[in-house]
Each structure stands twice: as structure tokens, then as C-alpha cells.
Structure 1
Amino acid sequence: MNPLIRTELLKLRTVRSPWLLLAASPLLVVAGASGLAISGNRPLDVVAQSQALAHVGLASLFTLVFGILAVAGEYRHQTITDTYLSTPARGLVIGAKLLVYSVFGALAGVVSGVVGLAVTAAWWAGKGASFAWADPAMWTTIGGGIAWNAAFAAIGVGVGALVRSLVGAIAVALAWVALVEGIVGQLIGGLARWLPFNAGQALGAAAEPMMARDLLPRWGGGTVLVVYTFAFAVLAVGTSMRRDVS
């Protein structure tokens, strides 16, 4: 597995698009935290801190696309044939991608969390509010957001292996988040909380919104997201082993 991991790391070092994508993650957190601070709709208290840092989890949309690039990007650039010819054990190839991209998804979440903390604390100071660094709810929200980023990177690898078309895979993934989960939430409220994006929201959201939006408890959201991650990993390996490359 070590040579395969080194190969995936080499690919990441030599391709710019994944890094540009991950670089956008902290920008989303900055925009979200800044918008909350500027709006003035609520006091800048400990609950608002968690809400500002909940944007770390929402940055998982970028790690989802990042994971899709791991497989669908290779099909787009027609490098997947060379990858499988050099390592015929396709399951190991996908396993290496799942590991590497999940780790980088988590690291992207850490970077987003650090940037979000710095920006949120700066806004609080600028508004004359006290920033509670020791607030456990805020740190739990950040930790949940980091895990959400890692899980969605792995799920993205699975989506890329299933769809294979880069544009198609990204369109399917974003349409699912924006349309399907939203529609299910409107029609069947009890079912929506069990879907991947809503499970991620439960894991990485502030405590107050979790109750307001009928999300699962944090531990429940984390458990459901782990199940989805494992399921997509199994599908990615199984699909890649059965399908023809071309």
C-alpha cells in the first residue's frame, strides 16, 4: 500500500486543480463568519461563535468535489488506464485514494477551522465582544466539521468511481445536496435527517440549529455519516473491480 499512497501524493503534488479547490474552503468559512458578524441580527455570544464556526463543516462541499476528482478526474484525463496497468489490484488503488483523500479532506477541515477561528475572533474583538476560547460547544462544532470534511472526501471518491464522468459526478453530487435532500426535507421531514448532507450537518452544526432544524443528535449524525462513508467505499472498490476501464 505504501507505494500506492506515494503515487497518490505525487499526483496531488503535480496537479493544481485539487489544491485550488481546497484553497476555496477557508474562503467559505471566512465569508460565513464575516456575514454572521456583520449582520447584527443577534448578539455575538458563545452560541453565535458555534454558528460562525459551523461553516467549517459546510466547506465539506469542496472536499466532496475534491474526492470526486480522485477517480473521475483520472477518467477525464485518461490516466486511469496507466494507473490500473501499473497496479492491476484495483481494490488497493481505490483504497489508497480513499485513505489519502480522506486525510487531506480532514487537513482541509483543520485549515478551515484555524482560519475560521482567527477571523471570528477578530470580528468579535472588532465589535467589542468577548470571544470564549474555552467554550466546549464551539470546539465540538469545529471537530465535527473536520470529520465531515474527511467523510465527504471519501464519499466523493465513491461517487467518482460510480459515475466516472467528472462533470456528471459533480452535477449529481451537488444536485443531490441542493435538490434531493431539500425536497425530501420538505415532503418527508423524518427521512431527511438520515440523508448524508443532513447527517453531516448534525455532526458539524452548532447545538442550537440542530434542535431547530430537526437534525439527528451529534453522535447520531456521526454514526450515520460513517455508515455512508463505508458504503460508498465498498461501492467504489466493487465498481472499480468489475467495470472495464474504457
Structure 2
Amino acid sequence: MYGLIHTEVLKLRTVRSPWLLLAAAPLLVAAGVSGLVVSGKKALDTTTQSGALSHVGLTSMFTLVFGILAVAGEYRHKTITDTYLSTPARGRVIGAKLLVYAVFGALAGVVSSLTGLGVAAAWWSDKAVPFVWSDSQIWTTIGGGIAWNAAFAAIGVGVGALIRSLVGAVAVALAWVALVEGIVGQLIGNLARWLPFNAGQALGAGAKAMAGENLLPRVGGGVVLAIYTLIFAVLAVTTGMRRDVS
């Protein structure tokens, strides 16, 4: 298994597109935090601090696509045949991809968190407002956002295994978030909070969002998201073992 993990890391080191994708995540966080402050609509208190850091979780859309690249990207570039020929135990190959991409998804969340903290602290200082580093809410928000990034990276691997077309898999994933959870979710009321993106929001949401939006409790959102991650991991492994490569 160590060899498979090393191979997946080596693939990531030699391909540019996943890194360009993950590099956009800290930019989103910096823009989100800055926009929150520049708008001037909220007092710079501890609640706003956690709200600013909730942008870390929203970068999970990047790690979702990052995970999709793990399998669908190989089908697109026709390298999946060589991958399975070198290691016929397909379940172990997919297992290595799930582990590596989840870890890198979490690391991407860490980088976004550091960016968010730095930008937020700079803005708070610029406004002559002390940034409360001891506030537990910002750390639970950050921790939830990092976990959300890791989970969506693993879910992305599952989506890429189920829909082997890279363009199709990305389109379906983004359409699910925008249409099913964004629009249809408004029509089904409380049931929407049990869907994956909403569960992630509950896990990585700031204090105000937790109080004002129809989300699961943070722990509940984490459990639901973990279940979705497990389901997609199982689907990725079983699909990879049963389908023909061609």
C-alpha cells in the first residue's frame, strides 16, 4: 500500500492542473474575508471573526473537483490502463487515491485557514480592532472547514469513479450543489440540511450562520458528511473493481 500511496503522490507532483486548482482556494478565502470587512455591514466582533473564517469550508468546491481529477482525469488522459496494469488490485489503487486526495484536501484547507487568519488579522488591525485569537468559535469553524475539504476531496474521488468523463463528473458535481442543494433544497425545507453540501456547511459554518440558518448542529453535520464520504468511498472501490477500463 505504501508503494501505491507514493505513486499517487508522485503523480500529483508531476501534474500541474491540480495545484493550479488548489492555489485558487486561498485566493477565494482572502477575497471573501476582505469583502466581508470592506462591505462595512458587520461589526468586527468574535461572531464576524468566525463568519470570516467560514470561507475556508467554501473552498471545498475546489477540493471536490481536485478529487474528481484523481480518477476521471486518468480516464481522460488514458493513463488509467497503465495504472491498473501495474497494480491489478484495483481496490487498493482506489483506496490509495482516496487516502492521498483526502490528506491533500485537508492540507489545502490548512493553507486556506492560514491565509484566512492572516488576512482577517491584518484587516482587524487596520480597523484598530483587536483580533481575539482565544475565541474557540473561530477554531471550531476552521477545524470544520478543514474536515469539509478533506471529505469533499474523497467524495470527488467517488464521483470521478462513477462518472468517468472528467467534464461530465465536474458538471454533475457543480450542478448538484447549485441546482439540487441550492434551488431544489429551498423547496423541500428541512430535508435539504441532510444533503452533502448543507451538511458540510453545518460543519464549517460560522457562529451567525449556525444560529440563523436551517442547518444541522455542527456535530450532526460532521456525522452526516462522514456517512456520505464513506458511501462514496465504497462506491469508488466497487465501481473501480467491476467496470471495464475501456
- Residue in structure 2 matched with residue 205 of structure 1 by the alignment: 205
TM-score (norm. length: structure 2):
0.99
- Greater shift after overlay, 157-166 or 204-213? 204-213
2:63 is the alignment partner of 1:63: yes
Taking the TM superposition and a 5 Å limit, the aligned residue runs for 1:19-30 are 19-30=19-30
- Residue in structure 1 matched with residue 229 of structure 2 by the alignment: 229
**CA-atom RMSD, angstroms?**
0.6
The size of the alignment, in residue pairs, is 246
TM-score (norm. length: structure 1):
0.99
Q: Give the whole-Å Cα distance in 2 for the aligned partners of 1:166 and 1:74.
A: 9
Tell me how far 1:208 sits from its aligned partner. 1.8
Q: 1:87 is matched by which residue type in structure 2?
A: T
- Residue in structure 1 matched with residue 129 of structure 2 by the alignment: 129
Taking the TM superposition and a 5 Å limit, the aligned residue runs for 1:18-57 are 18-57=18-57
- Residue in structure 2 matched with residue 85 of structure 1 by the alignment: 85
Unaligned stretches of 5+ residues in structure 1 = none
- Residue in structure 1 matched with residue 196 of structure 2 by the alignment: 196
Per-residue CA deviation, residues 185-241 of structure 1 (Å, 9 max, x unaligned), is 211111100000000000000122122111000000000000000000000001111
Unaligned stretches of 5+ residues in structure 2 = none
Q: Percent identity?
A: 78
Q: Tell me the secondary structure at the aligned position of residue 194 of structure 2.
A: coil
Q: 1:168 is matched by which residue type in structure 2?
A: G
Q: Give the whole-Å Cα distance in 2 for the aligned partners of 1:61 and 1:121.
A: 25
- Residue in structure 2 matched with residue 94 of structure 1 by the alignment: 94
Q: Tell me the secondary structure at the aligned position of residue 98 of structure 2.
A: helix
Q: 2:161 is matched by which residue type in structure 1?
A: A
Tell me how far 1:42 sits from its aligned partner. 1.1
2:75 is the alignment partner of 1:75: yes
Tell me how far 1:5 sits from its aligned partner. 0.3
Tell me how far 1:183 sits from its aligned partner. 2.2
Per-residue CA deviation, residues 66-108 of structure 1 (Å, 9 max, x unaligned), is 0000000000000000000000000000000000000000000
Tell me how far 1:114 sits from its aligned partner. 0.4
Taking the TM superposition and a 5 Å limit, the aligned residue runs for 1:121-200 are 121-200=121-200
Q: Is the 8 A contact 1:184 1:191 kept in 2?
A: no
- Residue in structure 2 matched with residue 17 of structure 1 by the alignment: 17
